[in-house]
Amino acid sequence: MQLLEYPEEYIIKPSDGGSYQPLSISRLDGSLNLIGEAPITSPMEMTVIYGVVGAIKLLAGTYVFVITSRKQVGMHQGFPVFQIMSLKFLSCNKALKLSTAEEKRDEAYFVSLLKIVETSSGLYFSYQTDLTLNAQRSHNFAGLRKIPPLWKQADPRFLWNRSLIEELIEAKLEPYILPVIQGSFQTIQVTLKESLVRVTLISRRCIRRIGTRMWRRGADLEGHVANFIETEQLLEVDGFITSYLQVRGSIPVLWEQIVDLTYKPKLNIINTDETPKVVERHFRDLVQRYGPVLAVDLADRKGNEGPLSLAYADAVQSLKHIRYISFDFHRICGLVHFQRLQLLYEQLAEDLKKQGYFLTNPAGEMIEEQKGIVRVNCIDCLDRTNVSQSFLAQKSFDSQLQRIGLFSTSECMLQHSNIHREFKILWANHGDEVSIQYSGTHALKGDFVRYGRQTVSGLIKDGLSALARYYLNNFHDGIRQDAMDLVAGHYTVSRGNPSPFHLNGFESLAYLPVASVLIVGGLTITTLSLHQARDAHRFLCSVVWAGVTAGVMAIVKANGRLFCSRPRLCKLY
């Protein structure tokens, strides 16, 4: 499409002479209207765009997101899939000059959040096929009705721009409504026994409790959990198509882990009478959608994670259609013995066989159906979870090729190095992409997924990622959480609401630069004064400076939460 910029409006029109009408976006108030034809006058600027992601209303007007760069990453159901490489928001806020000083300050902060949204990673779309639906659900829908517009059939859990397209839906701008998912789309093609095998890995991130690693933990009162992701492994070979689904999600009780400058903030379980209802709501939703659930808990049974894992185990023991399995990943596998995941598989094997997978023959007829789901979690649902899910996915892959006939009953992927190598890289890349969206860094333990072992370079990379997570969690993710809540529609901007950005005197100063300057400055002065302490007076000065520095460090430690970046728009619960 072409984006034409005029002093009073933006015009978006098909660049290939398509049949749909141009879209006019007022720069004064952001109103959206279809028009007969674009103005004949020359625009101030003309650029190529690849879709409209949606619109959001702030205090002074509407801002429209458009796709300015894309990359084709594969095919799905015979149609191309694109990754959004860059977004841009169009400002329609000429009414800003009529706003109050406070509204202008708030609008500036909201706009800074939109700039963070512009950098969102892992966004995918297709013009012709719905990426929010897994293959089994899509197959079941196909015979029920004619194919409606993509956004009407989309699974709202995984529609990343669901809130953003509301204005487009109200204005009946069908040609411009483009469903977008956040997650991962990875694909490989390998020749196996003269057959072309394509494996596609699609992860769909749920928006209902979307957020960052430390600011979205556990479940909310409706049973929606943080970092909930549906992962689908698709296999296509000789006309057969299989689909194997797994899900991950935070431990579905009420708990938090508020950053406070410590490396591992304390896990806090929120004891409330609502907890059993929250857990029941979460699993009732899963059973209704997927069938019986194997709940695999990889959290430590002792230490900091122990009480949380025990609370989870207690909460699910009376639920129907749920089998809970505790597998203390760190105790059993340690840092290098990941082959011991075979012990987990042996506990699950019979249930996994009953659950099966979705399979269609070359005629498109369903001959197998997946009748349940494995739900995996650790604490973050990132590193241990990805290693374990990749192991279970490999076992399912072997079973699928045996069922199709490409493998004998005793044959497995490990005996074919070419596909095994590509399969591991596929899952490692997927783990990295999902981890970046939640924690801001690549996944830890990625070496095992890629190479089947831990390497020295991998240990160094994991150490650097752990330090980066600490920095981002403490000093950046609060703002990133606000951006996610804003774009997901969890916070509604309104002139009638009080400003969410009022700070008291201490909070306005409490941030990393201030804490760093005070501590580093105090240590520097203390060190320099000690080097020059040639008499009692100078030595006393050094002692005083050391005391001041120790006092500042004690204040920072006692008020650690206040020195961290924290969200302003939405409460934790």
Q: Read out DSSP for 344-381?
A: HHHHHHHHHHHH--EEE-TTS-EEE----EEEEE-SSS
User: What angle, rounded to 10 degrees, do the helices at 477-487 and 101-118 form?
Assistant: 90
423-440, pLDDT tens digit by residue?
999 999 999 999 999 999
Cβ atoms 165, 151 nearer than 8 A: yes
Confidence category of residue 99, pLDDT binned at 50, 70, 90: confident
pLDDT at 519: 67
Mean pLDDT, residues 51-68: 94
Which of 180-189, 265-274, 489-498, 521-530 comes out lowest in average pLDDT?
521-530
Tokens of 5: 């910029």
| Placement of tokens 């190598």 in the chain | 421
234-250, pLDDT tens digit by residue?
999 999 999 999 999 99
**For residues 134 and 418, what is the distance between their CA atoms, to the nearest angstrom?**
27
Q: Higher confidence at residue 222 or residue 61?
A: 222
Confidence category of residue 511, pLDDT binned at 50, 70, 90: low
Q: Is the pLDDT of residue 161 over 50?
A: yes
Which of 277-291, 451-465, 499-513, 524-538 comes out lowest in average pLDDT?
499-513
284: left (phi over 0), alpha (psi -120 to 50) or beta: alpha
Confidence category of residue 533, pLDDT binned at 50, 70, 90: low
**For residues 249 and 229, what is the distance between their CA atoms, to the nearest angstrom?**
6
Confidence category of residue 494, pLDDT binned at 50, 70, 90: confident
pLDDT at 509: 47
Determine how many CB atoms are found less than 10 A away from the CB of residue 555: 15
Task: Work out the burial of residue 430: count CB atoms within 10 Å of its CB; fewer than 13 is exposed, 13-18 middle, 19 or more buried.
Answer: buried
| 229 alpha-carbon distance from chain centroid | 8
Q: What's the chain's length in residues? A: 573
479-488, pLDDT tens digit by residue?
999 999 999 9
Q: Which residues contact 119 (CB under 8 A, 6 or more apart)?
A: none
User: What angle, rounded to 10 degrees, do the helices at 477-487 and 456-475 form?
Assistant: 70
pLDDT at 540: 78
| Placement of tokens 């709501």 in the chain | 281
Question: For residue 321, how many C-alpha atoms fall within 13 Å in the half-sphere facing its CB?
Answer: 17
Contacts 24+ apart (CB under 8 A), 210-213: 210/484, 210/485, 210/488, 211/438, 211/481, 211/484, 211/485, 212/438, 212/439, 212/440, 212/473, 212/477, 212/480, 212/481, 212/484, 213/380, 213/438, 213/439, 213/440, 213/469, 213/473, 213/477
State the pTM of this model: 0.92
Q: Higher confidence at residue 97 or residue 333?
A: 333
Confidence category of residue 505, pLDDT binned at 50, 70, 90: very low
339-356, pLDDT tens digit by residue?
899 999 999 999 999 999
| 493 alpha-carbon distance from chain centroid | 23
| Placement of tokens 């009692």 in the chain | 536
Beta bridge partners of 54: 65
